[in-house]
Amino acid sequence: MDMIHMEPIGVVRNGVTEAVDEGWGEVTSEIVLRPDLAGIVDGMEGFSHVLVVTWLHETPAVPEVKRRPRGRNDMPVLGLLAQRARHRPNPIGITACEVVAVAPDRLTVRGLDAIDGTPVLDLKPYFPAFDRREAMVPEWVDRLMSGYFAK
């Protein structure tokens, strides 16, 4: 299929140098915007949460289309796109973060699971009508997720 080309809107600054699998809940990050986009987040202060869309640029490629989540033997073999790991054909991250502060040149958020220098592709205010769902998950999810946001 035709390749798609996009320029990041900004970059993550948080001093975090290593991607980890858990404990992102208390990390505060600044998303520093491109200078030509100054003012483009004005109004975000009315929202409690924002979806931060990142390009997880240091994610290693995965050659197979299926694997066990985190390689754990107690997890089923699943297609990569039926998982939330960063290892996927396009390593796009989507994280629902708390809005901490808004300025013309940057947005400050809490809970972003991305290292310093990560390119940001988009920001979307969290709309419950769009984003909040009563959703069912398979039993392996609860086993996998214990501890993700804890310190």
Report the distance separating Cα 137 and Cα 6, nearest Å: 32
Single residue of 26, 76, 101, 150 touching a second copy by CB under 8 A: 76
Single residue of 11, 12, 16, 114 touching a second copy by CB under 8 A: 11
Q: Check residue 74 for interaction with a second copy (CB under 8 A).
A: no
Report the distance separating Cα 106 and Cα 104, nearest Å: 6
Q: Check residue 4 for interaction with a second copy (CB under 8 A).
A: yes
Pick 115 or 123: Cβ nearer a second copy: 123
**Joined tokens for residue 70:** 């985190």
Report the distance separating Cα 110 and Cα 101, nearest Å: 10
Q: Check residue 136 for interaction with a second copy (CB under 8 A).
A: yes
Q: Could you tell me whether strands 92-103 and 49-55 are parallel, antiparallel, or unpaired per DSSP bridges?
A: antiparallel
Single residue of 13, 28, 96, 100 touching a second copy by CB under 8 A: 96
Q: Which of 16, 10, 14 is nearest to 29 (CA)?
A: 14
With contact defined as beta carbons under 8 Å apart, do 102 and 114 qualify?
no
Residue 4 vs residues 34, 39, 90: alpha-carbon distances, Å: 20, 26, 11
Q: Check residue 37 for interaction with a second copy (CB under 8 A).
A: yes
Residue 53 vs residues 73, 99, 111, 137: alpha-carbon distances, Å: 30, 14, 13, 22
Q: Check residue 3 for interaction with a second copy (CB under 8 A).
A: yes
Pick 28 or 85: Cβ nearer a second copy: 85
Minimum CB distance to a second copy, residue 26 (Å): 16
Return residues touching a second copy (CB under 8 A). 1-11, 34, 37-44, 46-49, 51, 53, 55, 57, 65-66, 76, 78-84, 88-90, 92, 94-96, 119, 121-133, 135-138, 141, 145, 148-149
